[in-house]
């Protein structure tokens, strides 16, 4: 790759709600824009990177030095586009927070040489300004261990070759998880009693001795992280409570209040 110019995109991914860094997200460089009147910029090398335990990623790519004029034609600060994909479950992380795929647009800065970065210093920007200075400081302060990243192990620092760099913080928004529901028909056991509970999506509840038996009306609702319901039979003071789990749950063990009313179990009737 010594015949090609280098590009480095330093970045971090954070949760937009909590501000915490996101491990295992994937940043993909999809295009680098040059002068519209010239052939499209070619991106060479690996154009994607996954965030580490600190939420950082580093994309190291190459571009054709014959396209230098393509970049100079737009002021040497080419726009680029990233797609950032949230982490996916795997054997080591079977349950992870789900995020929306994010599209990110910004501009890279041209530096005269990568030699300063290789020595742990602020790079020599071709057109230094306040943004370039901030990028340089971020790279130095947050990426002192950047040499361990596979993206740049093959980098050929050269004072004769312009390079592109940037530092960016990308925010990911999580999916709004739907509230858990117990809607459906359930086989129920309360001590020696066996019967059925029905729950509608709208919050209505019933109980009956059998599938075709008389239905007794009630209602169910969310109470913090729990689901509760009561029936409207005269003198029935009981409130039933379960703690829902994500996904399609087929059985629950719950409690009955006030204290002393006991416990119950119920199994979903899958039709």
Tens-level pLDDT at each residue, the chain (271 residues): 457 888 889 899 999 989 999 999 999 999 888 888 888 888 887 789 999 889 999 898 888 888 888 888 777 788 999 999 998 766 555 556 788 899 999 989 888 766 676 666 777 777 777 777 777 777 766 666 655 554 444 445 444 468 888 888 999 998 765 677 899 999 999 999 999 999 998 899 999 999 889 999 999 998 888 999 999 999 999 999 999 876 678 899 999 999 999 999 999 997 5
pLDDT score of 251: 92
Question: What are the residue ranges of helices labelled H in the chain?
Answer: 68-72, 115-118, 130-142
DSSP alpha helix (H) spans, 60-156: 68-72, 115-118, 130-142
Count H helices and E strands in the chain, helices first: 3, 17
Per the DSSP assignment, residues forming a β-bridge with 6 are: 62
**Do residues 13 and 84 touch, judged by C-beta distance below 8 A?**
yes
pLDDT at residue number 267: 95
In contact, 111 and 160? CB cutoff 8 Å: no
pLDDT at residue 111 in the model:
83
Beta bridge partners of 63: 5, 43
Of 250, 251, 262, the C-alpha closest to 190 is 262
What does the alpha-carbon distance between residue 136 and residue 121 come to, in Å, rounded to a whole number?
8
What pLDDT does 166 receive?
Answer: 86
pLDDT score recorded for residue 140: 67
pLDDT at res. 2: 52
Alpha-carbon gap, residue 156 to 62, rounded angstroms: 10
* Per-residue model confidence (pLDDT) at position 28: 94
């Amino acid at each position: 790759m010594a015949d090609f110019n280098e590009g480095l995109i330093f970045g971090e991914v954070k949760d937009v709600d909590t501000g915490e860094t996101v491990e295992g997200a994937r940043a993909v460089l999809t295009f680098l824009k040059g002068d519209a009147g010239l052939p499209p910029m070619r991106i060479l090398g690996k154009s994607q990177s996954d965030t580490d335990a600190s939420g950082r990623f580093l994309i190291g790519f190459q571009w054709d030095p014959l396209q230098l004029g393509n970049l100079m034609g737009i002021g040497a600060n080419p726009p680029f586009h990233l797609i950032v994909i949230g982490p996916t479950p795997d054997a080591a992380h079977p349950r992870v927070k789900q995020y929306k795929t994010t599209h990110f647009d910004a501009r890279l800065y041209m530096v005269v040489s990568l030699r300063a970065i290789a020595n742990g210093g602020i790079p020599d920007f071709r057109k230094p300004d306040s943004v370039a200075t901030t990028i340089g400081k971020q790279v130095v302060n947050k990426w002192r261990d950047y040499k361990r990243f596979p993206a740049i192990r093959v980098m050929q620092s050269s004072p004769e070759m312009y390079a592109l760099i940037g530092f960016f913080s990308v925010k990911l928004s999580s999916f709004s998880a739907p509230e858990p529901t117990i809607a459906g028909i359930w086989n129920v056991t309360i001590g020696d009693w066996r019967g059925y509970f029905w729950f509608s999506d709208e919050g209505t509840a019933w109980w009956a001795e059998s599938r075709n038996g008389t239905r007794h009306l009630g209602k169910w609702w969310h109470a913090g992280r729990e689901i509760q319901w009561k029936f409207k039979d005269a003198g029935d003071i009981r409130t039933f409570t379960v703690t829902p789990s994500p996904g399609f749950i087929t059985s629950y063990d719950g409690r009955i209040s006030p204290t002393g009313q006991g416990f119950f179990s119920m199994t979903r009737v899958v039709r």
